[in-house]
Chain A
Amino acid sequence: MTRGDNSARPGISTTGRRAGTFCLLLIVALAAQATRVQVFQADAYNHNKANQRLTIERYDQPRGNILVAGEPVTGSAPTGGRYDYKRTYTDGPAWAAVTGYASQVYGTTQLEGVYDDLLSGSDDRLSGWAVWDAVSRGQNPGGDVHTTINPAAQQAALRGLGRQQGAVVAIEPATGRILALASTPSYDPGSFAGSSAADREAWTRLRADTDQPMLNRALRQIYPPGSTFKVVTAAAALASGQVTDIHAPTGAPYPYVMQGTTTELVNDSRACDEAGLSLDEAMVNSCNSTMGWLGTQVGLQRMVSTAQAFGFNDATLDVPVRAARSNFDTGMNTSQVALSSIGQYDTAATPLVMAMVAAGIANNGTVMHPQLVDKLTRSDGTVVQLMHPQTYRQAVSPSVAAKVQQLMVDVVEEGTGSRARIPGAVVGGKTGTAQHGTGNGGTPYAWFIAWARPADSGGVPPVAVAVVVADSEATDVTGGTLAAPIARSVLRAVLDGG
């Protein structure tokens, strides 16, 4: 020790202890960082879209099935790849609008998406020991989704639509159960369920298809409903007291020049070109002038509230797959109300909501919440959840509904809906032929909404249906010629089966 300050220098005992503390602090820093990653940031990392783990877990066992009338329309097949199983579909295009898809690469939609947890086995309700499963990460076999679909009605809808673009929704009016849900052109969700190059190719091709086969037209597309909307207008007119006797002359003028404009609201049928027609005559012949004028007499507010009671302007209509919002404007001048009352202007509806209109009238004015699923079960068949019918809205009183029913029956018996007649059954319907496109140059949308019950039964009709044919090759495009026969075959399929 040559220097004086060396005596004050701490020895190795001190410096060694400090260095050891430093090394231990480094390890503490590691534990802190591990806690940050594994606890606080874990959720974000787990759900990062580049993290394959959720997909791997989802496909590491056979997926639960979606069933129609007790028969699975889906399956699972081993792949031998990183994702152990892939989704298969027994008849993909027929059920695509019901099932949606479950793709290893492109995710899940519709029922496959809404019930993904149940189908993949991660839904807590599948297990009696949820807490233990969370700790042990035990996986339950995927549960099953039982749909309300009636296979005969679905097949009838698909056969009827054929190669045309369009959609069919059929509902059981008393319960809201959806009996048919068809959209054409369709696609095979099985073609891109896996993760191979062929799957990617199929996906790219479908996405590029200008016919939009992956668009679910029954739930996710809105069309101007045209004259089928007159059912809502008639219901509003009767409910508001504007019309009390459907056979009594209304005060409707002819020709009808819309208030605040110089434009005349013209009719397609000469039978309409007359002042003071009754509501029944106006419905049977689908008179624009009378119904448009009636809408203005009911008034904007009443028209809006009636339309909303049938499902318009509902942005969260879940069946449980979410339907697009059907629109009836809430701020319009009188002429716009007139046009909207005949299903034109900004009025646009999904086939689902137009089926709700027919079903609500058939169910004595009570609109039931549409429901695509009957029950959820575990793989052993025990019930996870039973769906109960739910009232959506009391749209009109039973007496008003009865009058609208009569109007709709008259349309089929005497008017534009004659092609929907079914021997031995009472059928009520309404046609619609909606102009659209620039200067109304597009192929019109051919609509038909209807309900039917056996002639010997006085109860609530077992089926209501909405049909839209969006892009037909036919020369004479009207709801009565194109859409009514499809509706008829769907109604028959349910009546014959039930």
Chain B
Amino acid sequence: MATPTTPAAAPPTAAPVPPTRRTTELLLVVGAVLIAVFGYVEVGANIDGRPPPDAASYGAALGALALVAHAAVRWRARYADPLLLPIAVLLNGIGLVVIYRLDRATPGSAAAPAQLLWSAFGVALFLAVVIVLRDHRVLQRYAYVCALAALVLLVLPVFFPPVYGSRIWITVGAFSIQPGEFAKVLLAVFFAAYLAAHRDALALTGRRIWWFQLPRGRVLGPVLVVWAAFVGVLVLETDLGTSLLFFGLFVIMLYVATARSGWIAIGLFLAAAGAAGVGWLSPHVHGRVTDWLDPLGSIAAGQGPNQIAQSLFAFAWGGLLGAGLGLGHSILIGFAAKSDFILATIGEELGLTGLTAVLLLYALLVSRGFATGLALRDPFGRLLAIGLAAIVGLQVFVVAGGVLALIPLTGMTLPFVAQGGSSVVTNWIIVALLVRMSDTARRPRPGVRP
């Protein structure tokens, strides 16, 4: 740490107190709510020629959630990064607006009210984490419990009927959750704890192949078992997006912890082998790859545009400035327009401009997460913050890359924006953990000399 010069007027023993930036956060949160309300009004104005009748109550609900969250941060994490909460509120608000807009195109199946309810639940968990969890290092103790819980959550859906070709949902009545979403946080905790404890052993070098220092077989074994367990479960459930995400998270955290480029080489090799194997064995995946290589192929084959083609049509129609909220036709995408493909609606109605703004929000969220990790002092906290930020970054890439035909489509939800209760709730927990850890990172430590 750099030693700041002590102001002459200050008592010599007092550490310099960093600004809390809570007022900045409050202003940004209010701005985020106002942007969302504006979007909500615009949807109504563009479709009906007048603001939606429930604009006030909608704004009040979102505003209340945001302010409660802010109050909790102010109370229990006053040194937290002032950007994390406003970004979460804004992304969640944009998601609600776009889902409300898509509801207008699908009469009889409104998703926005449920999404608002889930958002409230997510904020409740945010409050719980920020208030109850005073020190993130407590989580380190529960590493293996987390691993077990994650595995159970991942295996559970196998016993439930598949939905749209994937066994990733637990359905009880009208209520369905995607446990894999929660599993990724638990897994990040486990990885962070395990790696923090064993990073020196893992870093021991074994054979050298080309310019890669391979790790020793003895430490490689358990890691491979963990990887195989998770990826195996996910392949069985044919949920490729999540398995790609877990695998990417695993490789990134291993690299960050050990600095061994050999891990990246092994990771890339395993990913390539896995992808080739799955692509060869599973017709579901094979079709996704074919659609990615030639998005317009189904049109030439006379079967009409597939979802990727419809998604690209939507993005293209948006152009630079977008058609305007409520004035696009992304509903042509059909199934999953509100969840996996929601970015296409943003691209069509807000244009490249709006889409870039949303991507910048994610970039900002990810970089604040990494910054939190770098600012922390304990290896567990550093790895956890980096892992959580990587989850957000990877997930955005996997889903947005899929709908933009940059990579094959694998079903995933866009953090905070896409329809899906489990996803929203999980992302609020991620932000809560980052808020907690950034507070720890910036809080002046009593007894430590400047």
**A residues within 8 Å of B by Cβ?**
1-3, 5-6, 9-20, 22-24, 26-31, 33-35, 37-39, 41-46, 48-53, 56, 135-137
- Residues 218-277 (chain B) with a chain A CB within 8 angstroms: 252, 255-259
Cross-chain contact B257 with A48 (CB below 8 angstroms): no
- Residues 335-380 (chain B) with a chain A CB within 8 angstroms: 347, 351-352, 355-356, 359, 362-363, 366-367, 370-371, 373-374, 379
Min CB distance B2 to A, Å, is 14
A38 and B379 in contact, given A30-B404, A30-B406 (Cβ under 8 angstroms): no
Cross-chain contact A24 with B366 (CB below 8 angstroms): yes
A33 and B401 in contact, given A9-B259, A27-B396, A46-B317 (Cβ under 8 angstroms): yes
Cross-chain contact B393 with A23 (CB below 8 angstroms): yes
Cross-chain contact A19 with B255 (CB below 8 angstroms): yes
With A and B bound together, what is the CA distance between A37 and B346 in angstroms?
Answer: 14
Asked if B89 CB lies within 8 Å of chain A CBs, one says no
Cross-chain contact A53 with B404 (CB below 8 angstroms): no
Which of B299, B386, B393 contacts A48 (CB under 8 A)? B299
Which of A23, A28, A34, A52 contacts B370 (CB under 8 A)? A23
Min CB distance B303 to A, Å, is 10
Asked if B400 CB lies within 8 Å of chain A CBs, one says yes
Cross-chain contact B352 with A38 (CB below 8 angstroms): yes
With A and B bound together, what is the CA distance between A52 and B316 in angstroms?
Answer: 13
Cross-chain contact A16 with B370 (CB below 8 angstroms): yes
Cross-chain contact B319 with A39 (CB below 8 angstroms): yes
> Which 9 pairs between the two chains have the least Cβ-Cβ distance?
A23-B393, A45-B316, A20-B370, A26-B397, A42-B316, A50-B299, A33-B406, A38-B352, A50-B305
- Residues 295-320 (chain B) with a chain A CB within 8 angstroms: 296, 299, 304-305, 309, 312-313, 315-320
Residues of A within 8 A of B379 (CB): 12
Q: 6 other contacts beyond A23-B389, A37-B312, A45-B317, with CB at 8 A cut-off?
A: A9-B203, A39-B320, A46-B316, A50-B299, A53-B332, A137-B327
Cross-chain contact A29 with B386 (CB below 8 angstroms): no
A-B contact pairs, 28 of them (CB 8 A): A6-B203, A12-B256, A12-B257, A14-B259, A18-B255, A20-B371, A22-B252, A26-B394, A27-B362, A27-B363, A27-B393, A30-B396, A30-B397, A30-B404, A31-B356, A33-B401, A33-B404, A34-B315, A35-B352, A38-B316, A38-B319, A41-B316, A42-B316, A42-B319, A43-B316, A45-B312, A45-B313, A50-B309
Residues of B within 8 A of A9 (CB): 203, 258-259
A52 and B329 in contact, given A22-B252, A30-B404, A38-B316 (Cβ under 8 angstroms): yes
Residues of A within 8 A of B366 (CB): 20, 23-24, 27
Asked if B72 CB lies within 8 Å of chain A CBs, one says no
Residues of A within 8 A of B320 (CB): 38-39
Residues of B within 8 A of A44 (CB): 316
Min CB distance A284 to B, Å, is 61
Cross-chain contact A34 with B347 (CB below 8 angstroms): yes
**B residues within 8 Å of A by Cβ?**
200, 203-205, 252, 255-259, 296, 299, 304-305, 309, 312-313, 315-321, 323-324, 327, 329, 332, 347, 351-352, 355-356, 359, 362-363, 366-367, 370-371, 373-374, 379, 382-383, 386, 389-390, 393-394, 396-397, 400-401, 404-406
Residues of A within 8 A of B258 (CB): 9
Interface majority SS on B: helix, strand, loop or mixed?
helix
Cross-chain contact B315 with A15 (CB below 8 angstroms): no
A37 and B404 in contact, given A46-B316, A53-B329 (Cβ under 8 angstroms): yes
Q: Total A-B pairs in contact (CB under 8 Å)?
A: 160
Using CB atoms, name the residue of chain B closest to A57. Answer: B329
Residues of A within 8 A of B382 (CB): 12, 16
Residues of A within 8 A of B319 (CB): 38-39, 42
With A and B bound together, what is the CA distance between A339 and B37 in angstroms?
Answer: 80
With A and B bound together, what is the CA distance between A27 and B312 in angstroms?
Answer: 18
Which of A30, A31, A50 contacts B304 (CB under 8 A)? A50
The winner among A5, A13, A23 for most chain B CB atoms within 10 A is A23
Residues of B within 8 A of A34 (CB): 315, 347, 352, 355-356, 359, 404
Residues of A within 8 A of B400 (CB): 30
With A and B bound together, what is the CA distance between A42 and B323 in angstroms?
Answer: 13
The winner among A14, A15, A42, A56 for most chain B CB atoms within 10 A is A15
With A and B bound together, what is the CA distance between A153 and B150 in angstroms?
Answer: 83
Cross-chain contact B373 with A16 (CB below 8 angstroms): yes
Using CB atoms, name the residue of chain A closest to B317. Answer: A53
With A and B bound together, what is the CA distance between A17 and B372 in angstroms?
Answer: 11
Residues of B within 8 A of A19 (CB): 252, 255-256, 370, 386, 390
Min CB distance A202 to B, Å, is 22
Cross-chain contact B397 with A20 (CB below 8 angstroms): no
Residues of A within 8 A of B373 (CB): 12, 16
Residues of B within 8 A of A49 (CB): 299
Cross-chain contact A12 with B383 (CB below 8 angstroms): yes
Min CB distance A306 to B, Å, is 50
Using CB atoms, name the residue of chain B closest to A43. Answer: B316
Min CB distance B201 to A, Å, is 9
With A and B bound together, what is the CA distance between A5 and B203 in angstroms?
Answer: 10
Cross-chain contact B316 with A23 (CB below 8 angstroms): no
Residues of B within 8 A of A39 (CB): 319-320, 352
Residues of A within 8 A of B359 (CB): 27, 30-31, 34
A24 and B363 in contact, given A17-B374, A52-B329 (Cβ under 8 angstroms): yes
Residues of B within 8 A of A46 (CB): 313, 316-317
Cross-chain contact A48 with B404 (CB below 8 angstroms): no
Cross-chain contact B321 with A135 (CB below 8 angstroms): yes
Residues of A within 8 A of B394 (CB): 23, 26
Min CB distance B25 to A, Å, is 22
With A and B bound together, what is the CA distance between A6 and B199 in angstroms?
Answer: 11
With A and B bound together, what is the CA distance between A128 and B367 in angstroms?
Answer: 46
Cross-chain contact B203 with A52 (CB below 8 angstroms): no
A24 and B397 in contact, given A10-B259, A35-B352, A135-B321 (Cβ under 8 angstroms): no
With A and B bound together, what is the CA distance between A83 and B323 in angstroms?
Answer: 17
With A and B bound together, what is the CA distance between A28 and B401 in angstroms?
Answer: 11
Cross-chain contact A26 with B393 (CB below 8 angstroms): yes
Residues of A within 8 A of B393 (CB): 23-24, 26-27
Which of B200, B327, B383, B390 contacts A23 (CB under 8 A)? B390
With A and B bound together, what is the CA distance between A37 and B382 in angstroms?
Answer: 37
Cross-chain contact B363 with A15 (CB below 8 angstroms): no
Using CB atoms, name the residue of chain B closest to A45. Answer: B316
Min CB distance A289 to B, Å, is 59
Min CB distance B67 to A, Å, is 29
With A and B bound together, what is the CA distance between A29 and B363 in angstroms?
Answer: 12
With A and B bound together, what is the CA distance between A46 and B316 in angstroms?
Answer: 6
Residues of A within 8 A of B386 (CB): 12, 16, 19-20
A17 and B316 in contact, given A6-B200, A12-B257 (Cβ under 8 angstroms): no
With A and B bound together, what is the CA distance between A174 and B306 in angstroms?
Answer: 56
Which of B299, B329, B351, B397 contacts A38 (CB under 8 A)? B351
Residues of B within 8 A of A33 (CB): 401, 404-406
Cross-chain contact B318 with A38 (CB below 8 angstroms): yes
Residues of B within 8 A of A26 (CB): 393-394, 396-397, 401
Min CB distance B136 to A, Å, is 16
With A and B bound together, what is the CA distance between A52 and B317 in angstroms?
Answer: 11
Cross-chain contact B259 with A30 (CB below 8 angstroms): no
With A and B bound together, what is the CA distance between A17 and B389 in angstroms?
Answer: 12
Residues of A within 8 A of B296 (CB): 48, 50
Using CB atoms, name the residue of chain A closest to B251. Answer: A19
With A and B bound together, what is the CA distance between A56 and B329 in angstroms?
Answer: 9
With A and B bound together, what is the CA distance between A16 and B255 in angstroms?
Answer: 9
Which of B205, B313, B315, B355 contacts A5 (CB under 8 A)? B205
Min CB distance B204 to A, Å, is 6
Min CB distance A493 to B, Å, is 48
With A and B bound together, what is the CA distance between A50 and B304 in angstroms?
Answer: 6
Residues of A within 8 A of B397 (CB): 23, 26-27, 29-30
With A and B bound together, what is the CA distance between A136 and B327 in angstroms?
Answer: 11
Residues of B within 8 A of A52 (CB): 329, 332
Using CB atoms, name the residue of chain B closest to A21. Answer: B370
Min CB distance A221 to B, Å, is 32
